[in-house]
């Protein structure tokens, strides 16, 4: 492999049009700090749980294979949540490489990632949005899975993703987005 080092690239003075850098088909140009690839899961259907153990939220999972082991992964999510009563939400982001899980934002009951909902007199009509962003360093070129999971602290409560409790028509959407960022 050859390396070309220059201080400045400049087009020819006699050139009538702006100079462009052409990258041959099958090759890529990656500048540090720029996104190399982006994947997103968009969930528009409803998920509900009354599980007191962490449960994967179906449809909020993405797979990405990093181009470089030095890349960072910018992971962000926005989840629409509703309940049948005043409670507190917990959303956990998990990274899986091979069969090994790593919890990105460890949290337990009463430690939601970005929003704790304590309820109001209109609990059944409320929908809230939990958002989170993290710059991860998986240090691999193997396939990486990112997924969201949740639990509710009492089985007598119901947590909904993408709707409120009182109306199945009051729906929303949720996303999980991962961008590989060159270093």
Q: How confident is the model at residue 115 (pLDDT cuts 50, 70, 90)?
A: very low
Domain ranges in the chain?
35-181
- Does residue 24 or residue 137 have the better pLDDT? 137
**How is domain 35-181 classified at the CATH fold level?**
Jelly Rolls (2.60.120)
Q: What is the CA radius of gyration of the chain?
A: 22
165 or 172, higher pLDDT:
172
pTM passes above 0.85? no
């Amino acid at each position: 492999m050859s390396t070309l080092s220059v201080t400045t690239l400049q087009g020819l003075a006699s050139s009538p049009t702006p100079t462009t850098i052409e990258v041959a088909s099958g090759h890529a140009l990656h500048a540090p700090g720029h996104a190399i690839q982006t994947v997103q899961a968009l969930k528009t259907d409803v998920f509900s749980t009354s599980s007191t153990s962490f449960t994967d939220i179906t449809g909020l999972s993405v797979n990405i294979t990093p181009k470089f082991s030095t890349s960072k992964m910018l992971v962000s999510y926005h989840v629409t949540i509703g309940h049948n009563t005043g409670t507190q939400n917990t959303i956990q982001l998990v990274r899986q490489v091979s069969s090994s899980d790593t919890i990105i934002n460890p949290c337990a009951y009463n430690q939601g990632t970005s929003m704790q909902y304590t309820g109001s007199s209109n609990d059944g009509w409320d929908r809230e949005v939990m958002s989170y962003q993290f710059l991860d360093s998986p240090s691999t070129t193997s396939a990486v899975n990112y997924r969201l999971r949740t639990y509710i602290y009492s089985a007598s409560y119901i947590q909904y993703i993408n709707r409120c409790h009182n109306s199945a028509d009051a729906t929303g959407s949720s996303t999980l987005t991962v961008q590989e960022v060159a270093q």
